[in-house]
Amino acid sequence: MDLNKKKSKKLDDYKILLLAALGISHELIICKNDQEHQRFQVTQFITSLENKINKTVGGEGDIPRQTD
């Protein structure tokens, strides 16, 4: 009977560790998805800034410069 209690305890410990590992894996996946979304947003922001800079620089080139 004592052997069964030890096996049961080991099984319970194993289940606890397995659940903890599952929880950690889930958190890592969520963090990875959040990072990918943030990376996408940063890329969009940088592209938007580049477009605005190019429009501004391009707009200055269209204005004829006065020479004295």
User: Along the 68 residues of the chain, how does pLDDT read in single tens digits?
Assistant: 677 778 788 889 999 999 999 999 999 999 999 999 999 999 999 999 999 999 999 865 445 555 55
pLDDT at 58: 87
Task: Note whether residue 60 is domain-resident.
Answer: no
pTM summary value: 0.57
Task: Answer whether residue 67 is part of any domain.
Answer: no
What are phi and psi for residue 64, nearest 5 degrees?
A: -65, 135
Gap between the Cα atoms of 11 and 50, Å rounded = 58
Domain that holds residue 30: 1-55
Residue 68 lies in a domain: no
Which pLDDT score, from 0 to 100, does residue 68 have? 53
User: Would you say residue 64 lies in a domain?
Assistant: no
Nearest Cα to Cα of residue 40 among 29, 51, 32: 32
The whole-angstrom separation of Cα 52 and Cα 50 is 5
CA 37 from centroid of its chain's CA atoms: 5
Q: Supply the pLDDT for residue 10.
A: 83
